[in-house]
Amino acid sequence: MNWDETGPDTDERPHLDDPLDDRLVDAGADGEDTAVEAALRPKDLDEFVGQEKVREQLDLVLKAARARGATADHVLLSGAPGLGKTTLSMIIAAEMNAPIRITSGPAIQHAGDLAAILSSLQEGEVLFLDEIHRMSRPAEEMLYMAMEDFRVDVIVGKGPGATAIPLELPPFTLVGATTRAGLLPPPLRDRFGFTGHMEFYSPVELERVIHRSARLLDVEIDVVGAAEIAGRSRGTPRIANRLLRRVRDYAQVKADGRIDRDIAAAALRVYEVDARGLDRLDRAVLGALLKLFGGGPVGLSTLAVAVGEERETVEEVAEPFLVREGLLARTPRGRVATPAAWAHLGLVPPPHGGKGQQGLFGA
């Protein structure tokens, strides 16, 4: 089965292990890191940095619901990982003075799984459903009625003797989060009263995130040190906070604990995060594309084999950032490096400009 940009012609969806687990710039947190990330989360909209338009719109939705004494409308948050979707869901619950229950699409593979969760909700409770695009189809169809009419039909029995028993639900707020909004069927998207798209952060916004986190972590950092980390954080607060913690470790072991530009740059060299935010995997992909394939075009599977990674890892982890940075292009013939990629790795393109690139970038 070919999971390329267009996806397959079936309703089946890939359920992959998280390919980010071994990456500093976007690794899965556990143990102490999980506790630290929780401590760094903003507690209200005023404290939340960035996403000005989404914050303004969401603030109106929540204030209006509180004024009416009603449950807030369902909310859909879309955007890349690490931009604050989970944090905003917790803020929604706090602003509405309601409990929150957290689950994810991959955990709900049967309609019965969803029915069990919905039937145990309290009135006004916030249900945060991460990776909502990875729910099973039967669960999605049950969710339609739950969101619109606050009831579900539980099927008892099988075949001609099956009976649908309606189960009334208390009013609740569903907060769905997705990194791939295009995979959500229109009937599901249309049932959300508010949809907010999370944008990547600017370096200035990330500097504010880093200074705030440094205060909470009791770390001394100057303006240029924060700017150095922000510039390598790929527009993502989660990555900025993780890089800050690793630079803090370096500063405590190799220096006096204070972070300036030189300390930040030295620490991130140790962790193989370059000045543009590329890590080992990103540079491996670009290096193979340039050195082995003359800049492309080359197929995704071939490129993945060349760097010793799974196809999905290259496509889902490395490519989005490389494309966004203008270092790689996806074409019908395969992946192609841009002139900026050659310059970033300090390589000289071949005289012909790489296989098939003349029509894309000129001779």
Q: How far apart are CA 129 and CA 104, in angstroms?
A: 5
23 assigned binding-site residue: no
> How far is the first Cα of the chain from the last one, in angstroms, to the nearest whole number?
36
- Is 130 among the residues known to form the active site? yes
Other Cβ atoms less than 10 A from the Cβ of 97: the count is 8
Q: Which segments within the chain are labelled E, that is strand?
A: 75-78, 100-104, 126-130, 151-156, 163-168, 173-178, 194-197, 328-331, 334-337
85 assigned binding-site residue: yes
- State the maximum Cα–Cα separation within the chain, in Å, rounded to a whole number: 75
Pick from 177, 196, 173: which is nearest to 52 by CA? 196
149 assigned binding-site residue: yes
Tell me whether the omega of the peptide bond preceding residue 297 falls within 30 degrees of 0, making it cis: yes
Q: Which of 134, 232, 234, 238 is an active site residue?
A: 238
- Is 158 among the residues known to form the active site? no
Q: Which of 130, 232, 248, 283 is an active site residue?
A: 130
Pairing of strands 151-156, 334-337: unpaired
Q: Which of 71, 173, 178, 179 is an active site residue?
A: 179
84 assigned binding-site residue: no
43 assigned binding-site residue: no
280 assigned binding-site residue: no
- Is 195 among the residues known to form the active site? no
What's the Rg (C-alpha) of the chain?
23
Asked if residue 362 lies in contact with residue 353, where contact means CB atoms within 8 angstroms, the answer is yes
- Is 85 among the residues known to form the active site? yes
Q: Which of 71, 86, 178, 236 is an active site residue?
A: 86
88 assigned binding-site residue: no
87 assigned binding-site residue: yes
- Is 71 among the residues known to form the active site? no
φ/ψ of 245, rounded to 5, equals -65, -35
256 assigned binding-site residue: no
194 assigned binding-site residue: no
Q: How far apart are CA 363 and CA 358, in angstroms?
A: 5
242 assigned binding-site residue: no
40 assigned binding-site residue: yes
Q: Which of 55, 85, 232, 242 is an active site residue?
A: 85
**Numbered residues of the known binding site for Mg(2+):** 86
Binding site members:
40-41, 82, 85-87, 148-150, 191, 201, 238, 311, 330, 335
Catalytic site positions: 85-86, 130, 179, 238
Binding residue numbers for ATP: 40-41, 82, 85-87, 148-150, 191, 201, 238
